[in-house]
Structure formats: structure tokens, C-alpha cells
Structure 1
Amino acid sequence: MASTQATNGPKPEEIRSDVAVVGAGPAGIAAALALAHVGARTALIGPAPSQSDDAHRETRTAALLASSVDFLKRLEVWDALAPHAAPLKAIRIIDASRSLLRSPDVTFEAAELGLEAFGYNVANTVLLDALYARAREILPLVLDTSAKEIALDAHEARLKLGDGQRLTARLVAGADGRKSVCREAAGIETSEWRYDQGAIATSFRHTRHHDGVSTELHKESGSVTTVPTTDKLASSLIWVGPPAEIADLMAGHAAGFAVRLQERLGESLGTISDVGPRAEFPVAGLTAKRLAHNRTALVGEAAHILPPIGAQGLNLGLRDAAALADCVAGALRRGHDPGGMAALSAYVRARQLDVLSRTIGVDLLNRSLLTSLIPVQAARGLFLHGLNALPPLRRMIMRAGLAPPAELPSLMRPQPAGLRA
């Protein structure tokens, strides 16, 4: 593959940088942009979006929470995304199970927190294209290839790329996903688990306006989540269910899928039609046993993978990216090594509570939906009853869902009006 780099940059055989970001997904590109923003000479390594094996099959959308939107504004990416972003004004949770202890419906409204929206829904392809275009504008090194080999020592990281080029950096930001080459090179182990579930991502049209409301409809062993798009009569969809159900839904034609979806949603969105392309993906979990080690900091799905519940996955990865920029900026200000132990330890301290709390929380929520144990169903029902009856508790839960348990990274904090990034 060809590589793209600034005309005044080093020759390919002499490439050096402060940070090598490996992985050109949303979290990886955001990390590269954030690192460049704080003054680190940054190389982005990864196939361009149009070259990705999954580019033609990507049907998912990203529900970007408010802090992620603020981050993208600081990176000067949001203006390109805003016309394609649908506000999420409310989240409705519906228990459609056959449990004797069926939970009440709960609606969280952004207005309760004085917000116009909890966040915005954007197609993954649109998000990725906008981030990559910005990277091409400002990064000195955008290398349209992959990392094949990584050697790490006390002083530097040496990368051999898929196109034969070699790159030396002081820090590797591993954003290369579930099968991370960076994580393996750094000797970081993982814990992985699978749920007895699969998922389908697609979109559909309907005859009633969605009114900016995202609906999570929970049944035994799965859920259907609709998320608003910029078209008031169209929504994106994540359908989670047992593997046999998902295989059956993928095997059928679009019209049959629409009938099944209509049965699941009832008349909440009117008549369902025009189901878009469908893509299947597993429902699984992964967490790295270390977030940083041996000149390597893990970002996004190289560090953690969550089930598609509550819009936590990508937002967690973007917080990784912003926090890493803070830690590298601090090291550079003090004249320290951005890949040294002090910088890596600062990154771990900044991220471990957020990652741990989201991983445990999402896992427990998903398992609570799958269990048939009466005490668990009763506890979940009582909790949701409490959310309906106690507005202060509901607002507390909403705030917890929007923000990490620790302070937001600096690039994610809202700026005063009129202050430039």
C-alpha cells in the first residue's frame, strides 16, 4: 500500500516520531489527533477507511455522548459531522419479557439535566471519514499500511510496517482492536468472555416520527435498540439475541426481517419498511490486564470490548484517547520520555477506574437481562421502580451514564463561549 506523509517529513527509511498510533479506527485516529494537538510528533498507522476489509459492510452507528462531542469539537472534526448527527433527546427502556416481575418502563430525558441532548447519533462510516480527513490535514505522518512487527526496549519502539517501511517512536498507542499486535508485542494479557448472543446492526424506515427518542426494548436473552437518525422517519437498529435467532434473521430476506421487527416493536414507530443492509457481529467482552506496559498504551478495543448496551464502548475509547494526550502532554512539558514508566503509570491511573466501572456495569446489566433467577429479576424491577419514583436518583444515574467516575480529560471539558481550541 502507498504511504502518505508531509512533503517536509523524513524519508521513509528514516521515519521517527514521538508516538506511533497503530490502528485507524475512530479511537485510534482521535488519539493521533489529540496527541498532535498537545504537541507530540505523531504517526498514524493503519489502512485508510476505504481500504478496510469491513468498509463495505459497516452498518453500525455511534451514539456520541456530550463529552465525546466536546472532544471532537476541540479536534475540529465536529463541524463536518454536525449535519449528519441526530440528537438523542431521550432514552426509553421497556421490559418486554414474560417475567412475573416485569419492570416498569423508564424514560430518561436530557431536559431533566438541562441538556438539549444526551449526545448525537452518527453513522460509523461518516465518523471515520471525517476523522481520517482531519488526520490527513494536520498529521505529519499518515501511513496507509499496518504494523507487522514491533520490537520494544528501554529506549524506543521499532516498528516494521506492512509496506516495508520502518518507524521508530518513544511511545506506541495501540488502537488496533481485539487482535492487537501492539498488545501482544508489549506482553499484555487479556481476559475474554463470550455471551450466548449475537447481534445485528442495520437501519429501517417507519411511519411515526422518532422524536429524538432512543428505545431499548428488552426481552429474555436479548434486546432491540432503536436509535434516531437525522431523518425523523428512519432509525438505526441493534438487535441482540441468541445465536440461532440471529442466524435466522440474517438468513431471511429484508421483507421478512421487517415483519419480525414489526412484531417486536409493535406500533411504537408505526409501520416498518425499507430495512437496510444487515451485518452480524458477536457479543463478547474483553479487558486488558494492563492498560499500559513496555512503551505501549492501549486505546479503544485493544484495551476493552463491551456488549452494545448503553452507548459505552466507543465513548470509553475516546476517553482513552483524550486521557493519553493529557499524559503525553505532561511528560513533554517536563522534558520526560512520553513512553517512560511515569507517563504510562499516569495513563493507567487516569483510566483504570473508568474502564473497570464501565466493564463491570455493562456486564452485570447484560447478565441481568439473561438470567431467569427470580431474585435478580426482582432486584432489577425494584431498581427501575425507584428510578420512576425518585427523580433525584434518576438524575444521578443519568449523570453517571454520561460522565466517568473521575475527572474528564482536558480536551473533553466544555470550553467557555468564544474561546478557541
Structure 2
Amino acid sequence: MRQFDIAIVGAGLAGNLAALALADSGRSVALIAPPARANDGRTTALMDQSIAFLKTLGLWDEVAGIAAALETMQILDGTVRLLRAPPVAFRASEVGLDAFGYNIPNAPFLAVLDARIAACSSITRLENGVTAANAFETGVELVLDDGERVMAALVVGADGRKSKIRESAGIDVRAWSYPQAALVLNFSHERPHGNTSSEFHTESGPFTQVPLPGSRSSLVWVLPPKEAARLRELPVAELSRAVEERMQSMLGKVTVENSPQSFPLSGMTADRFGKGRFVLIGEAAHAFPPIGAQGLNLSLRDIMALRELAGGSEPVNYVTIGERFDRKRQADVRTRTMSVDLLNRSLLSDFLPVQFMRSAGLHLLSALGPLRSIVMREGIEPLGSLKAFRDGLRERVARKQA
């Protein structure tokens, strides 16, 4: 039976990044998952904190060439309701950044990670599924779908919403659904996007265009499920016109590039994010609609927290690492999940007081620069506004003492 210090189950973006983050500690790491079944046409927007983390892993130079900067993010009211909100533009320069983050196509991003993992001597790649995980006093035994058994001191579940690791650890979940589906595609356009992402708030949910390199963008269009299915089956020319009309021709003529994908929107959080020798990250721990570019950024903060606990050169008490990880991640995961859920439900609500509160909030963001700055910093990094205030205060004290 092969033995490892850490076994990571799941080889999506979160699992691959966790393997690379933990591999440089000198610990032996197994990355266990079947090979990817299909090309992923989606993209992922990573905020500044996540980009900084990629740099610490030595990945950013390889990823930068396929990424597009997000310098401005604007919210536009695309409803026809009585109470409508003004446009709000968030500019990275307002908080001293060149860009809030970068939008990265998933398929080439995964290819970069796969190549780096293959070249890493401390990562063993096992292209198998896991059928069971049995915890013992000395470690966790993983049973693979080919009958092999491996042992690990710590098991990281990065195996998605239907996580076998979460189930084996005996961790329950709270799940919910929305009367919505997301239509996802990439498109080219005749006018430059200027590194600006535009999010139209509509009665059915957000319509979010995010820049890609060149005159290209990715799109997440949240719709009623039947309408998403209808649009997905349209000829490319008709779908392209529909996208252009929804964008009010802001980017000129639109040409949809790839076969659109659609999936129902739902949410899920595990009751806890670690237990004993088990830790959950990514969508094994939390999942919510693709709104506000929070999904993988939240998963990367899972990985950062895990690296603090298990990535150093000092001996680790794996017996209780799950409980320590859970305490670290509770506040961040719960608050981000709640904020995305509230935003999405506010768009769906026809209740006038809810519409008023949403409209008034956007009015305040449009008018008050300091409030806008706080919101921007919190979107990039939890407690980012507090950190900026503290750093600014220290800088002022240092200038007075000089």
C-alpha cells in the first residue's frame, strides 16, 4: 500500500492549485482524480489577492499571456422596473491598483497546471476515482476504483458538489436551488472592451460580460431555465444578435465563438469544512451562482488557509487539522455565500421595498467615493478596507517620525 503525507481528491482548478501549493513543503502529495472528460469553455476571473497567490507559486508568468486585465467593472440596470438604479463604475485606479484582477480561460489554465504538476517530483498523479475513504487512528485509507488502496495522513476533498470525501467524513450539507440557469459562452466583438467588465442587472439575474485577450469577451447570462435552453439551441447568428441586443450594442457587432453551455443555478455549503484528518475545499465545501467573481477566489482562500496549517516544514498534527481549518474558514465562507445569495435574490424580487433598497444602495455607491472604495477592497480581499486603513495610518505615522 502506497503512503503519502497528503492526498488531494479532485483535479479541477482548486485541486490542482492545492497540490502545487502544498508540494513545495517537502511533503509527499498524491493528486487523485480521473482525467478531464471534456474541454472546459468557461473562464475564471481571479482578483488581485488570488493573482498574488499565483505569483507565490511561480505560476503567474505562464498564465499572464492568456489572461485579460479587469481594470473597470461597471453595473448597469437592465430592468424595466419602476425603481431603477444609476450606472456604477468601479475603477481599479481608485484603490491604487492597475487591475482588480484578470479573466483566465479555464482550459489553457488547466493545461498550465497539468504541465507543472507533471514536472513536480513531490506530486504523484493517480488517474483514478475514489470509492471510499476510511479513517483510522494512523491515517485515512482511500479505496480507488481499480481496487488499489493508498494511505494518507491528511485527505483534502476537492471533488466537487457531490464529494465522496465529504460523504465519507460524515459531513452534511445545506443545499438550495434558484429558478434560474446560466448560459455561458465566449464571443468576439468589433469594438474594444477597454478591459472593462459590464454587468447588467435584469429581472432574471445578471448578464455579465468579462474581457478576454483581444477583441473577445466571456459571458455569463442568468435566465429562466426554459429561456436559457431556447437560446442555447439557436443558430449562432441568432444567438449573436440576442447577445448584442442585450448589451445594447455597446461592443458593436457580436459573434458567438463556441457552443454555449448552460447549467441550473443552485447553492450549497457544508455544515463544516473540516473534520479530523479531512479538509474540504472548493465546491466540495461551498458553491453558489457565478455572480461577483467570488467562486474560485473563495476556493483559493481555502488553499491559502490550508497552506498555513499544513504547508510549512514543521511537523503537523494531522489528527485535529480538520477542526482548525474549519475555524479558519467559517466566517469568510458564510459571509460570501450570504452576500451572493442576497444579491441574486434581490434581482429576482418584485417586492418594491427590496427594489428600493437595491436602487438606493447603488445610488450611494455611485455618489460616494469612500464607500465605493470600501466595497471594492472588500470584493478583492476580506477585510481589505481595514488593511488599507491600517497601512495608510502606519504610513502617515512613519512620515511624521521621519
TM-score of the superposition, structure 2-length normalised? 0.93
Q: Is the 8 A contact 1:306 1:362 kept in 2?
A: yes
Structure 1 residues 244 and 140, CA, compared in 2 at 3 Å: closer, same or farther?
Answer: closer
Separation (CA, whole Å) in 2 of partners of 1:308 and 1:407: 24
CA contact (8 A) 1:354 1:405 kept: no
Specify the alignment match of 1:403 in structure 2. Answer: 381
Which of the residues 149, 153, 161 maps onto 2:136? 153
Distance in 2, matches of 1:295 and 1:325, equals: 15
CA contact (8 A) 2:305 2:325 kept: yes
Structure 1 residues 305 and 372, CA gap change in structure 2 (3 angstroms): same
Equivalent residue for 1:337, pick from 309, 317, 325: 317
- Structure 1 unpaired stretches of 5+: 1-13, 409-421
Assess if the C-alpha contact under 8 Å between 1:257 and 1:275 holds in 2.
no
> 1:213-251 deviations in whole A, cap 9, x for unaligned?
0010111012211110111x2111111110111011112
Residue equivalent to 1:122? 104
SS in 1 for 2:116: helix
Corresponding residue of 1:43:
30
1:389, distance to aligned residue in structure 2 (A): 0.9
User: Residues 228 and 407 from structure 1, CA distance in 2 versus in 1: closer, same or farther, beyond 3 angstroms?
Assistant: closer
- Report if aligned partners of 2:46, 2:103 keep a CA contact under 8 Å in 1: yes
- Matched to 1:28, the amino acid is G
| Aligned AA (2:69) | P
SS of the equivalent of 1:145 reads coil
The alpha-carbon deviation at position 375 of structure 1 amounts to 0.4
RMSD, matched Cα: 1.6
Identical pairs, percent: 45
Q: Give 1:308's match in structure 2, choosing from 280, 284, 290.
A: 290
Letter in 2 for 1:388: S
Q: Does 161-170 or 14-23 show the bigger shift? A: 161-170
Q: Does 1:16 find its partner at 2:3? A: yes
Given the superposition, is the C-alpha separation of residues 406 and 229 from structure 1 closer, same or farther in structure 2, using an over 3 Å criterion?
Answer: closer
- Secondary structure of 2:186's counterpart equals strand
Distance apart, 1:361 and its partner CA: 0.4
**Residue identity opposite 2:203 in structure 1:** E
Greater mean deviation of Cα atoms: 376-385 or 73-82: 73-82
Give the whole-Å Cα distance in 1 for the aligned partners of 2:327 and 2:68.
34
Change (3 A) 1:272 1:140: closer
Question: Residue 141 of structure 2 contacts residue 152 of structure 2 at CA under 8 Å; is this kept in 1?
Answer: yes
CA distance in 2, matches of 1:350, 1:267: 45
| Per-residue deviation, residues 303-357 of structure 1 (Å, max 9, x unmatched) | 0001010100011111111211111146x62x3422x11x222211221111011
Contact 1:170/1:337, CA 8 A, preserved across alignment: no
Alignment partner of 1:279 is 2:261: yes
Equivalent residues in 2 for 1:18-167, closer than 5 Å: 18-48=5-35, 52-53=36-37, 55-56=38-39, 58-138=40-120, 139-167=122-150
354 and 406 in structure 1: CA distance in 2 versus 1, 3 angstrom threshold: farther
The Cα shift of 1:19 comes to 0.8
What is the CA deviation profile of residues 242-286 of structure 1, one whole-angstrom value per residue up to 9, with x for unaligned ones? 011101111211111111112211121111124422111121101
Asked whether the 8 Å contact 1:65–1:118 carries over to 2, the reply is yes
Q: Return the letter of the residue paired with 1:393.
A: L
**What is the match of residue 218 of structure 1?**
201
Mapping for residues 244-255 of structure 1, pairs under 5 Å: 244-255=226-237
Shift of 1:39: 3.0
SS of the equivalent of 2:184 reads strand
For the pair 1:294 / 2:273, whether they are aligned, the reply is no
Q: Deviations over 1:88-141 (max 9, x none)?
A: 001010011011110111000001011010001110111111112111111331
In the TM superposition, what is the alpha-carbon distance from 1:407 to its structure 2 partner? 12
Residue 252 of structure 1 aligns with an amino acid whose one-letter code is: L
Return the letter of the residue paired with 1:370: L
How far does residue 393 in structure 1 lie from its aligned partner after superposition?
A: 0.2
The AA in structure 2 aligned to 1:110 is A
Q: 1:230 pairs with 210, 213, 236, which one?
A: 213
- Matched AA of 2:53: F
Q: CA deviation at 1:406?
A: 8.5
Q: C-alpha distance in 2, partners of 1:285/1:380?
A: 22
CA–CA distance in structure 2, aligned partners of residues 322 and 37 of structure 1: 13
Contact 1:88 1:213 survives alignment (8 Å)? yes
Q: Aligned partners of 2:138, 2:384: CA distance in 1, in Å?
A: 31
Partners of 1:291 and 1:298 within 8 A in 2? yes
Structure 2's unaligned 5+ residue stretches are 387-402
| Distance of 1:133 and 1:93 partners within structure 2 | 37
**Which of 203, 209, 215 in structure 1 is aligned with 2:186?**
203
1:405: Cα distance to partner? 3.7
Q: 372, 375, 378: which one pairs with 2:350?
A: 372
Distance across 2 between alignment mates of 1:61 and 1:404: 23
3-state DSSP class of the match of 2:327? helix
Amino acid at match of 1:47: P
Q: Report the CA distance shift for 1:358/1:126 in structure 2 as closer, same or farther (over 3 A).
A: same
Counterpart residue number, 1:414: none
Name which structure has the greater RCO, CA cutoff 8 Å, separation 6+.
1
